[in-house]
Structure 1
Amino acid sequence: MSRCRTVPSRSLPALPALLALLALLALLVLPTAAAAFRATTTNPANSLAADRLQPPSGLTATQSCSTATIVHVGSSSSTGLGTLVLQTPPGTDPGDVLVAQVSNKGGGTSLLTPPAGWTSIRRDTVHRPDAVPQVTSALFWRAAVAGEPSSATFTLNASVEMVGGIATYRGVSTADPVDASQVRTGTSATATTPSVTTTTAATMLVDFTAKWQDDLPAPTGTQQRWRLTSGGSTAHYGVSAGDVAFAGTGATPTRTAASPTSSSSEWLAQTIALRPDPQQPSAVLTWTATPSSWATGYRGERVVAGTVQAISSAPMGTTTVTDTGLVDGTTYTYRVWAYRGSWVSEDATTTLTPSC
């Protein structure tokens, strides 16, 4: 009778160790940190797949220089003999710009002294055909300050009739207020203003007239600010002023001021264009959308000298934003990236140093 042989048993690998090994292998093949949810036509459930969130591209920053709207605040006018005292218009605030017309009978050889702080724009004279000067008109400007004087006194070194006015404007550049100026003279019943060529948009045109033995209304199409004469004698003359906004740049239209009496005499017409005060610059950021259409949107930073000044976000479909409150001469670095949840793309970067 045969005996059964007993075969010694061998230990098999423990099941827990095997499971741990399989788990380690699974971790090694999981998606990297660049993984994100991706939707495709074959994977509508947005299952987790190995994919990289792509950044936006072509980021640019372009400066935008907005300007103030020029408005008229107030006006005053007066007459005098050898001295012309003009009251500062009510409502004048520091930073406003005052414009004065100071005219006199006769020529411009007499010394005209303005008060301190007033800057000459131009001084023009119209003559008779025999070269005798009839009327002279001078224009000045001044930036109003805190404690602005209540009046301005202009003095001639001759005792002749004087007429003029002051207008206050808000929103005008105090550094360089006059963009352009010109004069035209003639002898007729109707005066025609000159055309000026502006280099800045959104200017305010101010037209001035002076006419021998007549007082013209402000030129057509303007808002009259003053109109008065030097006296009632036959040797009198009159002045007027009016203003109108001019939106664009280039040559301005001419305007007419017709005599109410149809009297033909010597006249001059002056036009100035007031330049608007530039406002704080802004940056217009533009980029090409991320090709990762499953991203939620974009985030961005404005950085100055390594310090983040502002953080913002924009939804998908946005490829242009405007950043305001910048300062001329400061270099700004902009960073824009795409995101979805905690996933983020690399940055698109550009810089801008505004100079408005």
Structure 2
Amino acid sequence: MTRSRRPRQLPRRVLAAVVGALGLLALTVLLPGASARFTSVTANPAGAWATDGVAAPTGLTAVQTCTRTPITFRGATTATSQSPLTLSPPATTQVGDVLVAQVAYYGAATISAPSDWTHLFTDTSGGFVTSAVYHKVATGADTATFTRPDSSPGDMVGGILAYGGVDRSSPVAVSARVTGAGETVTLPTVTTTVKDTMVVYLLGRRVAPFPTPGGLRERWKLSSDSEGVTAADESFVGPGTTPSRSTSLAGSTTEYVAQTIALRPVAPLVEAALSWTASSSSWATGYHLERSSGGTVQSTRPITPITTPTATEGPLVNGTAYTFRLSAYRGTWTSASVTTTLTPSC
């Protein structure tokens, strides 16, 4: 009689190990990137993935911020002499400042100036008084000599103003000039679309200078033997039209020139102030922030920790539309994203 053999059974410990290995293999096959995900899950408190996953942030908003550098008056110098007239910049001038020079003289001749000074305009009233205006960016070698080519009588008179925080590539936002004769002069107003300009007023007058108009900061008032000059300025928030300013010198109806210049400030730093409600995930690490414009991604960066509710993005360009996309992450896990848009107009 032959005995039948029972199938050989695996020990329980071996069987448990085989089942565990098969389960792990199935997890690896079924979940993309499962190895990293498995590590993330098992490294967190029990049940974290099951209860909150990687929850997305909510309520993303973007508000523009415009950081402006105010135009600063550095100083002023004046001089008077027969031709040629040499003007030195103020001792407090810094390299990169914008310099404005006024030269006034008798007659209507055209004067010569150094080649590194840009001629803005020259105005003559009645053939008796002329005021020429120039500007340049300070380099540290800014002494200027102005020469009148004719033999007209009378000294030349003028000065240099120095300002910091002015746009070096396009310092003059707008200007206006008037000429006339009489006891009273109304300074020309200007209308500017630029915010936070510095408005400079330059007066040239036959014989004595006009008093500084009320409401302005006097920068100089000086006479030669034939002409007088007055310089003043004021900060103008704008945009819009500058206030009307007048000044008078009783008993004198001589010729005058009045010139107004609005200096353009350095362009503001434009940024986006982003805010959101933080992810409710108890184990997410941080956020991925993406900035794009015109369908092109310009930058991506992580933001940590997960409790962070704000960020700043920039610099941005005025008039350009931007999209900001934010998502929470843990390792290779990423939540759904929230987006917002902004077109700054500082």
1:71 matched to which residue of 2?
Answer: 72
Partner of 1:86: 87
Q: Does 1:160 align with 2:149?
A: no
The aligned counterpart of 2:120 is 121
Measure the CA separation in 2 of the matches of 1:298 and 1:98: 48
Shift of 1:263: 3.7
Is this contact kept in 1: 2:98–2:137, CA < 8 A?
A: yes
Secondary structure at the residue paired with 1:215? Answer: coil
Deviation sequence 1:202-251 (CA, Å, 0-9, x none): 221110112234322233222211101122xxxx4311001122222232
Match for residue 261 of structure 2 among 244, 268, 272:
272
Structure 1 contact 89–166 (Cα < 8 Å) conserved: yes
Corresponding pairs, count? 322
The answer (yes or no) to whether the contact 2:58–2:276 under 8 Å persists in 1 is yes
CA RMSD of aligned residues (A): 4.5
Task: Kindly indicate whether residue 179 of structure 2 is the aligned counterpart of residue 179 of structure 1.
Answer: no
The structure whose residues are more often helix, as a share, is 2
- Report 1:1-356 matches (<5 A): 10=6, 13-14=9-10, 15-24=12-21, 27=24, 28=26, 33=34, 47-49=48-50, 52-53=53-54, 66-106=67-107, 108=108, 110-127=109-126, 133-146=127-140, 148-161=141-154, 162-231=156-225, 236-259=226-249, 261=250, 263-278=252-267, 283-284=271-272, 286=274, 294=282, 295=284, 297-300=286-289, 312-313=303-304, 315-316=306-307, 318-323=309-314, 337-340=327-330, 342=331, 344-345=333-334
Tell me how far 1:277 sits from its aligned partner. Answer: 2.8
How far is the alpha carbon of 1:21 from its aligned partner?
4.6
For residues 123-151 of structure 1, the C-alpha deviation after alignment (integer angstroms, 9 at most, x for no partner) is 11223xxxxx33211110122224x0444
In structure 1, distance between residues paired with 2:14 and 2:160: 97
Query: For the Cα contact (< 8 Å) 1:172–1:274, is it kept in 2?
Result: yes
* Alpha carbons 1:226, 1:240 under 8 Å: kept: yes
CA offset at residue 268 of structure 1?
Answer: 2.5
Identity score, percent? 36
Report the CA distance between 1:271 and its aligned residue: 0.5
Tell me, in whole angstroms, the C-alpha distance in 2 between the residues paired with 1:321 and 1:307. Answer: 15
User: After superposition, what is the alpha-carbon deviation per residue over 1:153-198, rounded to whole angstroms, capped at 9, x for unaligned?
Assistant: 3434242322211111222222221111101234443322111122
- Runs of 5+ unmatched residues, structure 2: none
Q: Which moved more, 1:197-206 or 1:96-105?
A: 197-206
Measure the CA separation in 2 of the matches of 1:247 and 1:217: 25
**How far does the alpha carbon of each residue in 1:38-96 deviate from its partner, in whole angstroms, 9 at most, with x for none?**
xxxxxxx9644176425569999999775532212221112223432222221223222
Partner letter of residue 16 of structure 2? Answer: L
Work out whether residues 57 and 289 of structure 1, in 8 Å CA contact, stay in contact via their aligned partners in 2: yes
For 1:227 and 1:69, the matched residues in 2 are separated by 25
In structure 1, distance between residues paired with 2:91 and 2:306: 50
AA matched with 1:157: D
Check the 8 A contact 1:163/1:239 in 2, yes or no. Answer: yes
Aligned 8 A contact 2:329 2:335 in 1: no
CA distance in 1 between partners of 2:336 and 2:314 (Å): 18
Distance 1:283 1:60, change over 3 A: farther
Structure 1 gaps of 5+ residues are 1-6, 38-44, 128-132
Q: Any idea what SS the aligned residue of 1:164 has?
A: strand
The residue matched to 1:49 in structure 2 has which SS?
helix
Q: Which residue does the alignment assign to 1:3?
A: none
> What per-residue deviation string (whole Å, max 9, x for no partner) do you get for residues 82-114 of structure 1?
4322222212232222111111123x3x12111
Counterpart CA distance in 1 for 2:188 and 2:89 is: 28
Contact 1:96 1:169 (C-alpha < 8 Å) held by counterparts: yes
Does the residue aligned with 2:304 lie in a helix, a strand or coil?
Answer: strand
The verdict on how the C-alpha distance between 1:247 and 1:314 changes in structure 2, with shifts beyond 3 A counting, is: farther
Q: TM-score, normalised by structure 2?
A: 0.73
Return the letter of the residue paired with 1:266: E
